[in-house]
Amino acid sequence: MNPSPTLVAAVLVAVVAPSGLAADRPNIVWIVVDDMSADFGCYGSSAVPTPHVDRLAAEGTRFAQAFVTAPVCSPCRSAMITGMYQTTIGAHHHRSGRGTEKIRLPAGVRPAPAIFREAGWYTCIGDGLPGAAKNARGRPQGLGKTDYNFGWDGALYDGEDWAARKPDQPFFMQVQLPGGKLRDGKGGVERVRQQAAAEFGAATDPATVTLPPYLPRDPVLLADRAAYLDAVRLTDAHVGRVLARLEAEGILDETLVIFMTDHGISHVRAKQFLYDEGTHVPFVVRGPGIPRGQVREDLIEHIDMPAISLVAAGLPIPPAMQGRDVFAKDYVVREAVFAARDRCDETVDRIRSVRTPDWLYIRNFHPGRPMLQPNAYKDAKPTLQALRALQAAGSLDPATQRLLFAPTRPPEELYRWREDRWQLDNQAANPAHADTLAALRGRLDRWMADTGDKGPESDAMYESDMKVYLRKFHPEVKANIATMKRWAAEGK
């Protein structure tokens, strides 16, 4: 449970830290949220009030078209913390390198906290509030979420909060929030409803929510979406408490604050996939030298966050870093952004995309497999269980049945993503767009070659990581691993 505003205010009085930082050594605060799309007022959503993220946008710069390079936690966070495409550094398979086979960063690639720490910043990662960080169940968790797929030094972080830094020492803080994960687990939906009711006086009414057009208005799906919106509101309230703390300590205006989520909402066609629901995220920057009240429409990638932060701190961007300082005077806007989905847990897949201001091109490397492959993590979710039950009963709309439960996928997909918000109308087979398809196909090929896309993982790495999964996760994992191996042998 989040602490009450009164309690936070009381604690703040007791822990106000010294300021007096030099203007050229600002604090850096990243607020990174799990499993949440851009469902905030400043992004046009009116579903729930989000005054604190909206305030960040009003006092800073909001990027309307920000995208993650991976739509699942660990590859996204591996890319985020290094400013590198996860496919370049070999960290693109979800929860990889956890067994006996390890992943090491290439020469010249370093996590951003290591750079800041070496330059004298106090590095910390937690929930951004005084006292021990709490997990989604309200229990102490120590350091905040990392989830990197590569080996890293435990000394990367000095602690979980900036209160322990030396007087006048600048800090680099990651505020890690559970976001959409608040509704996960047994009883998660009801737990979030109760928390929202306690904090805001009422929870979101499931009957009032809007679902993507391809989803049925099933009670389970409506309740889940309502709980998700309550999680958005609870996340916004937590952001407000962090901002209030920075203000109380007199350091907000000498702190660069970046707010983003690590991918979109966890749902059937969102998290783990390269449509807008999975990759489009909020990205808001506030701080010294950042234009106030500006909205940027150019395409950016989440791996730009380290470069933005290093330059703001007066530190050089490492030559190998692929992220860019999008505030640089000589910055040239991107013509395209890229994303990749690879193995998620035990489920093997390989998808790549390139997005231009007008088009989204997606390549499925395993078109012989269904989009909703067996996956113990997703199959345990009530929403997917409800959809599978409706599908088995023949109760789904034919368009939804075709979209979600077709036994195969097209090898290529092409969408006018601005006009086709949910990416429902695949134009890849339309002769009128053959030239566009060919151009984007070539652009994706060049990006994969130029950035050294590491592609499928080795059998040894898969076996190593699956041993870890078999020790920790659902019994369904064993059957799913066997299915992955059988499909591979069949050439699917």
- Single-letter code of the amino acid located at 94: H
Q: Are 492 and 128 contacting, i.e. CB atoms less than 8 angstroms apart?
A: no
Give the per-residue pLDDT at 407.
Answer: 96
pLDDT (tens digit per residue) in 122-143: 999 999 998 754 544 454 457 8
Q: Any residues with CB less than 8 A from the CB of 153 and at least 6 apart, and which? A: 114
- The whole-number pLDDT of residue 18 equals 33
Residue 131: what pLDDT? 72
Q: Structural domains in the chain?
A: 7-12+26-331 (3.40.720.10), 351-489 (no CATH)
Residue 201 neighbours by CB under 8 Å, 6+ apart: none
Ranges of residues in the chain whose predicted pLDDT is under 50:
1-22, 133, 135-137, 139-140
pLDDT in tens, 160-176: 999 999 999 999 999 99
Q: Is 286 exposed, middle or buried (0-12, 13-18, 19+ CB in 10 A)?
A: buried
pTM of the model: 0.93
Task: Write the pLDDT tens digit of every residue in 45-58.
Answer: 999 999 999 999 99
- Beta strand residue intervals within 90-227, DSSP E: 122-126, 171-177
